[in-house]
Amino acid sequence: MSIEKMRRTYTLSGLDKKDVDPDPMVQFDVWFKQANESPLPEWFEVNAMTLSTADPQGAVTSRVVLLKQVKEGEFYFFTNYDSIKGKQLAANPQAALCFFWPHLERQIRIEGSVRKASRADAVAYFQSRPRESQLGALVSRQSSEVSSREDLETRMQELIAEHEGSEVPCPENWGGYALKPTWIEFWQGRPSRLHDRIAYKQHDGGWKQVRLSP
């Protein structure tokens, strides 16, 4: 296998300013639905996105999280507030999201500021999760070091017993973040690396569309 020889030619479609909605949130919705409607392998998670955060010194970290809601112009994900992302967002509430939908040869990049979602949002979403995920959230002190896999499993068994027959409470350090975009870019792969990129930046309380060089 030669990594440097790996490449694909993107031919599925093009993207022009006239093809996109003037509101990038509407355009996101259109592309998200198309991504999700395509015949998809069962393992593919359309709502998986790379989230990048940075500490105040500029050290950046990226990881995948799941988009769980889009409402009133904000993108929501849920996590542990004591994780690396949580600590970085507390100190520097700027973040970037990136979706890659290879089956459509599309990428969406989103940048903006992040706020903690309300406790009511956290509890409502937590209660909608499968019970094992709820208990898993209770077990996990996300991104802290653990001595062994067995420790996690023992803690899980203890919590299963502790909460048997009762609702699993949403941990205080667990909840959502809402990212309000100031920049959204829609990327469509094209042949010869002349990809189409239509971006929206905030301008006078509205959105200004621009075409970017590939």
Ligand X SMILES: Cc1cc2nc3c(=O)[nH]c(=O)nc-3n(C[C@H](O)[C@H](O)[C@H](O)COP(=O)(O)O)c2cc1C
Pick 27 or 79: Cβ nearer ligand X:
79
Active site (annotated) includes residue 193: yes
Catalytic-role residue among 141, 193, 197, 211:
193
- 173 lies in the site for ligand X, by CB under 6 A: no
Look at residue 100 and give its three-state secondary structure. Answer: strand
Instruction: Give the C-alpha separation, 95 to 110, whole Å.
Output: 8
Pick out residues in 66-85 that bind ligand X (CB under 6 A).
66, 77-80, 83-85
- 200 lies in the site for ligand X, by CB under 6 A: no
Contact region with ligand X (CB under 6 A), list: 12-20, 25-33, 60-68, 195-203: 60-68
- 142 lies in the site for ligand X, by CB under 6 A: yes
Instruction: Give the C-alpha separation, 103 to 114, whole Å.
Output: 29
List 25, 65, 156, 160, residue binding ligand X (CB under 6 A): 65
Q: What is the DSSP string of 7-53?
A: -----S----GGGS-SSHHHHHHHHHHHHHHS---TT--TTEEEEEE
Instruction: Give the C-alpha separation, 37 to 35, whole Å.
Output: 6
- 102 lies in the site for ligand X, by CB under 6 A: no
Beta bridge partners of 24: none
Q: By CB under 6 A, name the binding residues for ligand X.
A: 45, 48, 61, 63-66, 77-80, 83-85, 142-143
